[in-house]
């Protein structure tokens, strides 16, 4: 496995293909395998050089006690791009990965050719999304955890979830692994790893990326929101406020389009980047 030695981090990443660079950024508590399981990385690598990166504390990249806000993760990404000599790239970010991509573009637009957002939720737009607790992913997780006598409540609250994770006994963890399957087991392992850090609070901090700064994004954006996304208000904001934003709906997806409908992600991304190349 390739690693970039960027103290205090050893950043794990994977690369495939040749051509213009696309960098894939997973969401909070996920890892780069989300791009491999569904075939997004493979689907893009026939035309581009595709890199998938494990953010700090995720996947095979080491955990730090703190520093998980989007500005810090964007700085990590910039250091990694320097290390692997990527001068400019299109950034495809799922969920929190989209926040990181947007933050990097706001700070260093010369390094970001374009942004593709996959169902991104922005802490800086949280006033637009009062019903985030109704997100189907959180609702399903709540139902699963009730099987091990754990109620995480109706509202998304990762600090609370992290505090609960640390109290689970072996029986509860074993039962959850059986219920969640291979992908869910990886997610559970990530949750356990991050439970002793500030990540649950940091990733929901605005960190300077407020509504005005998001609206000022100067690079082209493709906003992909899932058919059953809980973030309709965010999608509308991006469409109305960004200077250069194309939108598309990913059918049959509930926030996890890289796994639920990866072919649509690949097709929309290729179409968007081909259009940009013709400008």
SS3 95: coil
pLDDT at 132 over 70: no
183 or 206, which is more confident: 206
Neighbours of 143 (CB within 10 A): 9
266 or 204, which is more confident: 266
pLDDT at 197 over 80: yes
Burial status of residue 8 (CB atoms within 10 A of its CB: 0-12, 13-18, 19 or more): exposed
Radius of gyration of the chain (CA): 18
Q: How far is Cα 264 from Cα 262, in angstroms, rounded to an integer?
A: 5
Would you say 100 and 206 are in contact if contact means Cβ atoms under 8 Å apart? no
Q: Poorest-confidence range of 53-62, 125-134, 213-222, 225-234?
A: 125-134
Q: Where are the alpha helices (DSSP H) in 195-231?
A: 199-202, 211-215
Q: Give the pLDDT confidence of 10-31 residue by residue, as tens digits.
A: 999 999 999 999 999 999 999 9
- The closest of 92, 81, 26 to 55, measured between CA atoms, is 26
The model's pTM: 0.94
Task: Please give the pLDDT value at position 110.
Answer: 98
SS3 115: strand
Would you say 22 and 44 are in contact if contact means Cβ atoms under 8 Å apart? yes
Q: How far is Cα 63 from Cα 9, in angstroms, rounded to an integer?
A: 8
Domains annotated on the chain, with CATH: 3-128+205-277 (3.40.50.1820), 132-200 (no CATH)
Q: How far is Cα 181 from Cα 36, in angstroms, rounded to an integer?
A: 16
């Amino acid at each position: 496995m390739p690693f970039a030695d960027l103290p205090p981090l050893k950043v794990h990443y994977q690369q495939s293909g040749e051509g213009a660079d696309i960098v894939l950024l997973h969401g909070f508590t996920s890892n780069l395998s989300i791009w491999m399981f569904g075939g997004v990385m493979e689907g893009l690598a026939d035309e581009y050089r595709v890199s998938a990166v494990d953010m700090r504390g995720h996947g095979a990249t080491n955990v730090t006690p703190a520093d998980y806000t989007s500005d810090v993760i964007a700085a990590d990404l910039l250091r990694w791009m320097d290390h692997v000599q990527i001068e400019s790239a299109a950034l495809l970010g799922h969920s929190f990965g989209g926040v990181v991509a947007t933050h990097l573009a706001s700070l260093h637009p010369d390094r970001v050719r374009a942004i593709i957002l996959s169902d991104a939720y922005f802490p800086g737009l949280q006033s637009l999304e009062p019903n985030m607790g109704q997100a189907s992913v959180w609702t399903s997780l709540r139902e699963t955890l009730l099987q091990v006598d754990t109620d995480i409540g109706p509202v998304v609250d990762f600090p609370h979830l992290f505090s609960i994770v640390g109290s689970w006994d072996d029986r509860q963890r074993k039962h959850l692994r059986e219920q969640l399957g291979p992908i869910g087991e990886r997610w559970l392992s990530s949750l356990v790893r991050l439970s002793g850090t500030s990540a649950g609070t940091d990733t929901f901090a605005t960190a300077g990326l407020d509504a005005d700064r998001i609206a000022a994004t100067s690079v082209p954006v493709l906003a992909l929101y899932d058919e059953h996304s809980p973030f309709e208000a965010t999608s509308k904001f991006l469409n109305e406020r960004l200077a250069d934003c194309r939108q598309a709906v990913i059918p049959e997806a509930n926030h996890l389009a890289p796994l639920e409908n990866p072919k649509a992600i690949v097709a929309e991304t290729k179409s968007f980047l081909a259009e940009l190349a013709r400008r």
